[in-house]
Structure 1
Amino acid sequence: MTDETTPPAARESASAGDLLTLLRSGRASTRSDLRTVTGLSRTAVVARVNALAEAGLLRLGAELASTGGRPPGSLVFNTEAGVVLAAAVGRSRSQVAVFDLGGTELAASAVDHVVGAGPDEVMPVVADQLAQLLTADRPPVLGIGCSLPGVVDSARGVSVDTPVMGGWDGVPLAPYLAGVAEAPLFLANDADTLARSEYLGHAREIRDLLVLKASTGIGLGVLADGRIVTGARGGAGDIGHTKVPEAAGRPCRCGDVGCLETLAAGWALVARLQEEGRDVGHVRDLVAHALSGDPEAKQLLRESGRQVGELLAVAINLLNPQAVVLGGDMAAAYDVYAAGVRESVYARSSAHATRELQFLPSTYGDRAGLVGCAALALDAVLSPRAVDARLARARN
């Protein structure tokens, strides 16, 4: 039995979608390359290439001659054949963008909203922002990638457990975006999309990664052997709501008590400063203070990193990653936050697990959520199965 991940060369007959995947990945750039990799006949390769070209997904060598530098037989994926939309919906801010099929950002914007606002307040604004980015000359929208904090059901396109954002659970998000584009919605957890952004960054060289999102909340994305691990019900990596002794009795925004977030999440740190009369409204303000040298802000971030690192050490012993990527708003003060994480990890993880362990900043910084959402949509709409289905519809 084969699936989307089976190498085309291992299949009985590589499809047009398989050939496009080879060209996109750089494993092939000519018809001859495609014949060599897949074992298909010249006639079969020509037919599949022509179908992709007619659909606008490939540019042929003859078309490329005027650009110079490419041999006549070259085949190039046409990144201008469509776009995907990205919407990284957070607890207090949503970012939206348009990307071409090569993953290049074409336009973007962001909007703040009240913490805890429901989908009826947030999603119409997200839809409006996306619509404003879609100029009349844009190519067709092929898919929309969206992320939410908490646990999501990707198949149904709904939140399952987003306790700090009231009213989201069980609400389908696709209808809110139906007026923007007639394109499928792909939904994922925010930490998983952060991890997915590393497919275009650190994961090109490192296949086993833990990707920490340290922001208003705390979550963990897991890349094992190059694959994102979501768990049986989509809840893998939800370390922020793990109970820790130091937080005993502290009420969490999830409705429970004793969660790690009550000590180490951005919302808890901001609340602590506000109780002291400090003018801080968001974790980004806290980070700005730390970057300007504020000793209390720096101490809070380092202590947060230390507390998160205590749980992260357990994950490192269990999964033995090659690297830990630190992302999210708090990681913008990377040196301060990473120092706290390292302190606990090296103190609590095994010597074997940490011997060659790397700590790395997120490749895309505060854009990582958008890049991950775009990658989510691109992986879906450009999969061999999706491309073949598109060609089949065109034939009919």
Structure 2
Amino acid sequence: MHVARSTNALGGTGASDLFQLLRDGVPKSRTELAALTGLARSTVNDRLSALAQLGLIGPATAGASTGGRPPRRVALLPDARLALAVDLGASHVRLAVVNLLNAQLNTYEEPLDIASGPEAVLTQVMRRADELLVELSRSREDVMAVGIGLPGPVHFETGRPARPPIMPGWDGFDVPGWFHQHLAAPVLVDNDVNLMALGEHSRLARPVEHFLFVKVATGIGAGIISGGRLQRGAQGIAGDIGHVRVRSGDGVYCHCGNEGCLEAVASGSRLADRLRRAGRQDVIGGRDVVSLVDSGDLEAIRAVRQAGRDLGEVLAASISFLNPEVIAVGGRMAGAGEHLLAGVREVVYQRAMPLATQRLDIHTATQSRNAGLLGASLLALHHALSPEGIDALAEAKPAETTPAETTPA
């Protein structure tokens, strides 16, 4: 989603760009900001006053003095505004209300059937979001942006799902338009695995520019970060590895209509089907498969290990194209842990070039359950707090006179 730049109360790219230096929440003085920007202190003060009028910054505790009057410092007010993060899966919804430093203030999770259609699902999401806000004594007016992940392809520029195979009734639905009927905030919609990739990437132990996040659950997909940037592709389906053909899928038809898709043989639901045919009648979905693996059921372990091999077949080819440093495997089936990863590594190290795998780290995602919410809130805040987002906020709210006691000096 792009926002056109224009002249406004913040002076176009003036105060909104200055604000980027305060986004980390670390207090800074006028002198520090002037040195960092090369601007005159009077200009810095004018732009800080404009940001204070928007309620985004305020005085911080006094800084250390080097002689004379201690410097007065300003900082981002983390709870001045909020963002709403929504992680929608095939059978669940997770929500979080976060502050401007991406700290989760309130969260909620419940079962949900994505196939019940956009109107029913989004109405439920909005109702739960209102409840979270009320518990914080806040309202919709405090929401600065919304980030939403959907379990299917999404045209990111429009926020509309594009022929999602497990989401009947969602194709082309104007998700941002629906939310704009209820709150006046930018709404950014992306594929759920893309957002999981963003969330997991933000919590890696070291900086990584080339990263692959793989979700194995009801569906299978990947989020690609290359050169430090999320790659969505021309139509928003980059990373749709669940519909790549694998050898063990011969004669097996996928819900997309094609034969032999990875998702048709290695997803949690298909593994559950296989185990039911083997006599495990109480296995309903991926969670039950993982429980059997945890209990040491040999049939379940063999099924998961083969799913790992099938996934490894696709990842070996992906590694040749993308050359990632780290591959993190998340989603419900990642709960099977090393049994799934052992199958992946077996095939990857056999088929991928040694140069591509000698330093490759393949591990279970550390943020598997929370990654989607982290990514959704990162997406929302990145947009809302960007220079374009701050400029748009200023246009939407005419500047008011700032009380003397809150004007940053």
The residue aligned with 2:85 is 86
The residue aligned with 2:9 is none
Query: Does structure 2 conserve the Cα–Cα contact (< 8 Å) formed by 1:116 and 1:166?
Result: yes
- Pairwise mapping of residues 1-396 of structure 1 onto structure 2 (< 5 A)? 15-25=14-24, 29-61=28-60, 64-65=61-62, 72-114=71-113, 116-135=115-134, 137-138=137-138, 140-178=142-180, 180-202=182-204, 205-275=207-277, 276-395=279-398
Q: Which amino acid aligns with 2:239?
A: G
Residues 23-80 of structure 1: CA distance to partner in whole angstroms, max 9, x if unpaired?
Answer: 224798333333233222222222222222222211323xx349xxxx7443322110
In the alignment, the residues of structure 1 paired with residue 272 and residue 387 of structure 2 have an alpha-carbon distance, to the nearest angstrom, of 46
Q: CA deviation at 1:319?
A: 1.4
Q: Go from structure 1 to structure 2 and tell me whether the alpha carbon gap of 1:198 and 1:33 turns closer, same or farther (over 3 Å shift).
A: farther
Q: Which amino acid aligns with 1:196?
A: L
In the alignment, the residues of structure 1 paired with residue 320 and residue 246 of structure 2 have an alpha-carbon distance, to the nearest angstrom, of 18
In the alignment, the residues of structure 1 paired with residue 25 and residue 181 of structure 2 have an alpha-carbon distance, to the nearest angstrom, of 36
Secondary structure at the residue paired with 1:44? helix
- Calculate the aligned-residue CA RMSD, in Å: 2.4
- TM value normalised by structure 2: 0.86
Q: Which amino acid aligns with 2:354?
A: A
In the alignment, the residues of structure 2 paired with residue 116 and residue 208 of structure 1 have an alpha-carbon distance, to the nearest angstrom, of 34
In the alignment, the residues of structure 2 paired with residue 341 and residue 189 of structure 1 have an alpha-carbon distance, to the nearest angstrom, of 24
In the alignment, the residues of structure 2 paired with residue 395 and residue 116 of structure 1 have an alpha-carbon distance, to the nearest angstrom, of 42
Q: CA deviation at 1:273?
A: 2.0
Query: Does structure 2 conserve the Cα–Cα contact (< 8 Å) formed by 1:53 and 1:60?
Result: no
Query: Does structure 1 conserve the Cα–Cα contact (< 8 Å) formed by 2:326 and 2:361?
Result: yes
Gaps of 5+ in 1: 5-12
In the alignment, the residues of structure 2 paired with residue 263 and residue 26 of structure 1 have an alpha-carbon distance, to the nearest angstrom, of 47
Aligned residues: 380
Query: Does structure 1 conserve the Cα–Cα contact (< 8 Å) formed by 2:26 and 2:76?
Result: no
In the alignment, the residues of structure 2 paired with residue 164 and residue 216 of structure 1 have an alpha-carbon distance, to the nearest angstrom, of 9
Residues 142-161 of structure 1: CA distance to partner in whole angstroms, max 9, x if unpaired?
Answer: 11111112211122221102
Q: Go from structure 1 to structure 2 and tell me whether the alpha carbon gap of 1:320 and 1:167 turns closer, same or farther (over 3 Å shift).
A: same
Q: Go from structure 1 to structure 2 and tell me whether the alpha carbon gap of 1:253 and 1:203 turns closer, same or farther (over 3 Å shift).
A: farther
In the alignment, the residues of structure 2 paired with residue 227 and residue 28 of structure 1 have an alpha-carbon distance, to the nearest angstrom, of 28
Q: Which amino acid aligns with 1:220?
A: A
Secondary structure at the residue paired with 2:282? coil
Gaps of 5+ in 2: 4-11, 64-69, 400-409
Secondary structure at the residue paired with 2:110? strand
Q: Go from structure 1 to structure 2 and tell me whether the alpha carbon gap of 1:75 and 1:281 turns closer, same or farther (over 3 Å shift).
A: farther
Q: CA deviation at 1:168?
A: 0.9
187-196 vs 339-348, which moves further: 339-348
In the alignment, the residues of structure 2 paired with residue 216 and residue 359 of structure 1 have an alpha-carbon distance, to the nearest angstrom, of 21
Query: Does structure 2 conserve the Cα–Cα contact (< 8 Å) formed by 1:203 and 1:226?
Result: no
Q: Which amino acid aligns with 1:37?
A: L
- TM value normalised by structure 1: 0.88
In the alignment, the residues of structure 2 paired with residue 349 and residue 310 of structure 1 have an alpha-carbon distance, to the nearest angstrom, of 9
| Structure whose CA Rg is larger | 2
The residue aligned with 2:405 is none
Q: CA deviation at 1:109?
A: 1.6
Query: Does structure 1 conserve the Cα–Cα contact (< 8 Å) formed by 2:29 and 2:73?
Result: yes
Quote the sequence identity (%).
37
Q: CA deviation at 1:179?
A: 6.0
Q: Which amino acid aligns with 1:59?
A: G
Q: Go from structure 1 to structure 2 and tell me whether the alpha carbon gap of 1:17 and 1:48 turns closer, same or farther (over 3 Å shift).
A: same
Q: Go from structure 1 to structure 2 and tell me whether the alpha carbon gap of 1:111 and 1:18 turns closer, same or farther (over 3 Å shift).
A: same
Q: Go from structure 1 to structure 2 and tell me whether the alpha carbon gap of 1:132 and 1:262 turns closer, same or farther (over 3 Å shift).
A: same
Q: Which amino acid aligns with 1:154?
A: F
In the alignment, the residues of structure 1 paired with residue 251 and residue 75 of structure 2 have an alpha-carbon distance, to the nearest angstrom, of 59
Q: CA deviation at 1:263?
A: 1.0
Secondary structure at the residue paired with 1:303? helix
